[in-house]
Structure 1
Amino acid sequence: MAPPSAIAVEAVTDTSGVTLPDPLSASVKSNEIYGRRRKTDKSQWGVAAPSDSVNFRYHSHDHKPKAKRWDHHVSHEALIRKGNSLKQAAKYLGKPGLISLGGGLPSSEYFPFAELNLKVPTVGHFSESETKESGITITAGKHDLAQDKSIFDIATAFNYGQGSGSAQLLRWITEHTELVHNPPYSDWRCTMSIGSTSALDMALRMFTRPGDLILSEEYTFATAVETAAPMGLRVTGISMDEQGLLPDSMDHILATWDVKARGARKPHLLYTVPTGQNPTGATQSADRRREIYRVCQKHDLYILEDDPYYFLQMQPYTGPNSPDILPPSSHSEFLKSLVPSLLSIDVDGRVMRMDSFSKVLSPGSRIGWVTASEQIVHMYQMHADVSTQGPAGMAQLILWKLLDEHWGHVAYLDWLIHIRMEYTRRRDVIMQACEKYLPKEVVSWKPPMAGMFHWLRIEFRQHPDYPSKSIETIEEEIFMRVIEHGALVMRGSWFYANNEEEHDTLFFRATYAAAPAEKIEEGIRRLGEAVRAEFGLKGSNGATNG
């Protein structure tokens, strides 16, 4: 019998045949993943069972190169961290007949929870009203694992766990990552986080030292800057266009870096939100991502890819009278329509990708995950074991019951297509409202291709009090005027990567994520009314200007 990696041929006739794909490298469809799962001993699912995501991959990756090592970029703190020594004993808990008098694991007998019931959507009926009418109730019992009813239960999930998260949910996450991104090197791993903000905090401690400068888009996630500042880190902003950060600008900054003038060593870390960027809504094209990656290779940068909006990629906005946008016809078409992630083009293992369920399922779950090389994931897990410990077991059990036992990978992709269409409709509503209500002589925008945010540029030089009033003062007055008119948008200056640098553009960020359609339109109408009043422009609230 030929080994699994050998080329196999199947006869078609007595004289001809077809070559079969390598079963360990052939493309796997979403509905085939469960059939490809490796058989696992029951002890893998026990309380605080240690796990390694390499055991949950359904392809062989041995033919791929290994990741580079990053010792030269890793902080002294990360290099000397030893992890939680007490958790090393957990690997013996699955031994049959073992009586544990060692670990401080409380008995589930004293957990005051007997059963957990969740009403969730049936496949293809995802709306709130449909769930109320036709949703089904899924149940997690206290001792489902011991009773062979399930591989995850209250007794396991509600106890202590590993920093990597439970093996049960980690398996699902690993399969999902392999299906969507399939990193092009062999020793990639996944480990859970308690969300991307926490993952960023830990990554910065792993890769930086006080006084370092890191690179990011010139407008960036405000919390990222605020996370870095207490560590003695500063952020250098890279110029942007409608596709996000400009690789030539990043290359120039790095090629001309002057340690004395900058007061810091040359940066070795890039933080980027490549899809539906917060706050600008910009999405890097596939070519742009490859250019950014090449610059990072040239200057040996490590990349922190923060991508919570990845599945909120939309079809282009084509105007108010365009025909209805149809959903992708298949999972394959949906996945092919997504811009490849930086992780998926990472041949060096120089990307730590941070994923999250926050924007696609629930922010309150506080569950995300990190994908990186084995070296980096191991360091991350040791850090988690002595800090965050891992996501809450209650949240893990809830998500696992929904994603693994109820939906599976097939229905989860159906769900992602559903929310993509929902956000597309919301995006179109705010676009139409902007066309109708905003004065185009002073406000301009590009339709977002992904995410939750709409970035509005204000021509502040046309303000009647410019230049006697500064850009900062004009921004403040517009902001307060909009509030007076009963709406709220975020000030662009709140998202400066470096507020000590000079800025000659003025922006506001609006979101179409939360309010219902009629409220979105009314909010934009009020915004237009406020801008007209601030700039002394004539025109009715419903008039289209420009």
Structure 2
Amino acid sequence: MSEAIDLSHHLSLLARSRKASPLKDILAYLHYPGMVSLAGGLPHPALFPFANIDVEVYNPGSDLSSLVSSDTTHISVPKVNTEGGVSLAVALQYADVSGMRALLKYAREFTQLVCSPAYKNWDVLINCGNTDGWTKAVGLLCEPGDYILVEEYTFSSAQYLWIPMGCKGAPIKMDAEGLRADHLDEVLTTWDTTHPGVKKPHVLYATPTGQNPTGTLMPDKRKQEVYDVCVKHDIIIVEDDPYYFLQLAPYVLNAPASTPTAYSQSAHLASLEKTFLNIDVQGRVIRLDSFSKTVAPGSRIGWFTANPLFTERLLRASEVTTQTPSGWSQGIIIRLLDEWKLGGFLQWLHGLAAEYQKRRDWMCDGLAASFDVQPSTHDASLTAYLKGTQTRLFTFVPPRAGMFVWLKVFLHENKQYQEMKGKLEEPELDYEKMLWQDMADAKVLLSSGNFFLPWEGKEKMDREENVIFFRLSYSMTSKEAMQAAVQRMADVFAGAWS
């Protein structure tokens, strides 16, 4: 196993220009035995008005079917911990910007166990969640006006970060397995012809697991193909993977509920698709992991895994922006992981995936009940027809990960849309907005597909003709409310296609 190659030419001018903060550098000396510090302006912990944190936490194998579980354990974070564990005196103090040592240790062990990076000198750095991670990655790699390679439909908030920089998205076509390596290669190979005089993109932003909004799960073979294209064209991959542990078994139409089996860590890990880190032999992947989807989004804690050049430059950015992530969050998560251990955390993640799989099935079963749904003969998609008719409304691929169902709605048989064609510049967008409003008026809230179109530097986006999209989420709603919402959708479709 070799070390990461030199990728310093990918650094932005801002990242190359950052200097180490001398006040942050000397914090490391505080850990030297016998050191007496007269250097820093650190408040004395005796003046923190908190004596102790007591928290009741779920056990790793808790039943997650109800809002509150009684299967709990008590943990605490004391003001002073004489046994060397986490304490409020340390957690609430100015601290190492890279993260608290215990959490860094957990992140390294967890990454090694799950991702097994394919080069030697990778490192981790704690951040304030994946939004913070992506913000810093853009600052690390991108210049104003750059093009950024993105999936054909991409998480909207991710691009609203770089739009004010004058950056633009270069969309890569997708299929049921995520972004297509062949189209990525085509876009990059023909770039100088299709974009004469324009700097070639060198950053790919991708969400390979439970892709937001489409719900696709990129298999190992596809990841290797994408990685090989990125090596060929010298592309840095930013792997934003908050849904990685929400991988789900394939959906079976009208199947009976499955019986839970005893947890096996080895079987669990073997069932997961590999990450890009697993195959990254050069250090060209920046992976973003987060506790937001696995513990709580309000914790605002995640971590980078990247080559040492990138983590050092990211650290310099953190020193003068966010500084160290919340000590409250780090302290509580450290104590939670102390209690659970890595094996318990993995068992918890397995339970989360089972719960989201159940919710995914509720959504797909509800669609099958409110529409006439037929499986495709050539792929994993299902086609929904207006109940009791042959009027094709939409297709969807039951997601294999994440929280979302992505509907591709066909407008060929919609009379109102057909009347709009030729009269409006963007009839698909206008009709999508109208149908969305009809849904909202019927008390069902969806996300419009146009939210997720990559920004290409123009108000009018390139759209597929006669087609619109909606994203449905199954993460928050009860089974009964979900079924009611899907039936309301069906009623709106029936009225719009009549």
Structure 1 length-normalised TM: 0.83
| 1:104-115 matches, cutoff 5 A | 104-115=41-52
Partners of 2:403 and 2:475 within 8 A in 1: yes
2:6 aligned partner? 69
| Unaligned ranges ≥5, structure 2 | 372-383, 386-391, 421-426
Partners of 2:203 and 2:238 within 8 A in 1: yes
Following the alignment from structure 2 to structure 1, what is the Cα–Cα distance between the partners of residues 411 and 451? 17
Q: Which amino acid aligns with 2:231?
A: Q
1:356 aligned partner? 290
- Aligned partner of 2:361 among 409, 428, 432: 428
**Which secondary structure state, in structure 1, belongs to the residue aligned with residue 8 of structure 2?**
coil
2:249 aligned partner? 315
- Aligned partner of 1:87 among 20, 24, 30: 24
Following the alignment from structure 1 to structure 2, what is the Cα–Cα distance between the partners of residues 75 and 222? 23
Per-residue CA deviation, residues 468-517 of structure 1 (Å, 9 max, x unaligned), is 32111110111001011110110000000136431113110000000111
Partners of 1:244 and 1:277 within 8 A in 2: yes
- Aligned partner of 2:76 among 116, 139, 160: 139
Partners of 2:65 and 2:355 within 8 A in 1: no
- Aligned partner of 1:155 among 69, 89, 92: 89
Per-residue CA deviation, residues 381-424 of structure 1 (Å, 9 max, x unaligned), is 11111111121001000101101x21001111110110110000
| Cα shift at 1:262 | 5.7
1:513 aligns with 2:446: no
Following the alignment from structure 1 to structure 2, what is the Cα–Cα distance between the partners of residues 214 and 162? 32
Following the alignment from structure 2 to structure 1, what is the Cα–Cα distance between the partners of residues 70 and 195? 65
- Aligned partner of 1:491 among 448, 452, 477: 448
Following the alignment from structure 1 to structure 2, what is the Cα–Cα distance between the partners of residues 139 and 326? 32
1:173 aligns with 2:107: yes
Partners of 2:237 and 2:284 within 8 A in 1: yes
Per-residue CA deviation, residues 213-269 of structure 1 (Å, 9 max, x unaligned), is 010101000011101111221111111111111111111111111278366201111
1:534 aligned partner? 496
Per-residue CA deviation, residues 286-330 of structure 1 (Å, 9 max, x unaligned), is 111111001101111010000000000011001223451544741
User: Number of aligned pairs?
Assistant: 469
| Cα shift at 1:277 | 0.2
- Aligned partner of 1:335 among 266, 269, 281: 269
1:444 aligned partner? 395
| 1:78-477 matches, cutoff 5 A | 78-127=15-64, 132-144=69-81, 147-148=82-83, 150-258=84-192, 261=195, 264-322=198-256, 324=258, 326-327=260-261, 329-403=263-337, 405-438=338-371, 439-440=384-385, 441-469=392-420, 470-477=427-434
2:424 aligned partner? none
1:544 aligned partner? none
Partners of 1:259 and 1:265 within 8 A in 2: no
Following the alignment from structure 2 to structure 1, what is the Cα–Cα distance between the partners of residues 62 and 418? 56
Q: Which amino acid aligns with 1:408?
A: K
Partners of 1:121 and 1:130 within 8 A in 2: no
Distance 1:323 1:422, change over 3 A: closer
Q: Which amino acid aligns with 1:104?
A: G
**Which secondary structure state, in structure 1, belongs to the residue aligned with residue 416 of structure 2?**
coil
Distance 1:460 1:267, change over 3 A: same
| Cα shift at 1:531 | 1.4
- Aligned-residue sequence identity (percent) comes to 36
- Aligned partner of 2:439 among 470, 476, 482: 482
Q: Which has the higher contact order (CA 8 A, sep 6+)?
A: 2
| Unaligned ranges ≥5, structure 1 | 1-63, 537-546
Following the alignment from structure 1 to structure 2, what is the Cα–Cα distance between the partners of residues 132 and 515? 18
Distance 1:337 1:128, change over 3 A: closer
Partners of 2:117 and 2:279 within 8 A in 1: yes
Following the alignment from structure 1 to structure 2, what is the Cα–Cα distance between the partners of residues 417 and 528? 33
Deviates more, 1:466-475 or 1:324-333: 324-333
| Cα shift at 1:466 | 2.8
Partners of 1:328 and 1:417 within 8 A in 2: no
Partners of 1:215 and 1:270 within 8 A in 2: yes
Following the alignment from structure 2 to structure 1, what is the Cα–Cα distance between the partners of residues 298 and 343? 24
Deviates more, 1:327-336 or 1:291-300: 327-336
Following the alignment from structure 2 to structure 1, what is the Cα–Cα distance between the partners of residues 403 and 455? 23
**Which secondary structure state, in structure 2, belongs to the residue aligned with residue 258 of structure 1?**
helix
Following the alignment from structure 2 to structure 1, what is the Cα–Cα distance between the partners of residues 65 and 363? 22
**Which secondary structure state, in structure 2, belongs to the residue aligned with residue 468 of structure 1?**
helix
Following the alignment from structure 1 to structure 2, what is the Cα–Cα distance between the partners of residues 299 and 459? 36
Following the alignment from structure 1 to structure 2, what is the Cα–Cα distance between the partners of residues 132 and 497? 41
Q: Which amino acid aligns with 2:5?
A: K
**Which secondary structure state, in structure 2, belongs to the residue aligned with residue 462 of structure 1?**
coil
Following the alignment from structure 2 to structure 1, what is the Cα–Cα distance between the partners of residues 397 and 272? 20
| Cα shift at 1:461 | 2.4
Following the alignment from structure 2 to structure 1, what is the Cα–Cα distance between the partners of residues 207 and 259? 26
Following the alignment from structure 2 to structure 1, what is the Cα–Cα distance between the partners of residues 138 and 231? 20
Partners of 2:8 and 2:309 within 8 A in 1: no
| Cα shift at 1:96 | 3.1
Per-residue CA deviation, residues 80-118 of structure 1 (Å, 9 max, x unaligned), is 211321011112212333322110111001100000000
**Which secondary structure state, in structure 1, belongs to the residue aligned with residue 195 of structure 2?**
helix
Q: Which amino acid aligns with 2:471?
A: R
Larger radius of gyration: 1
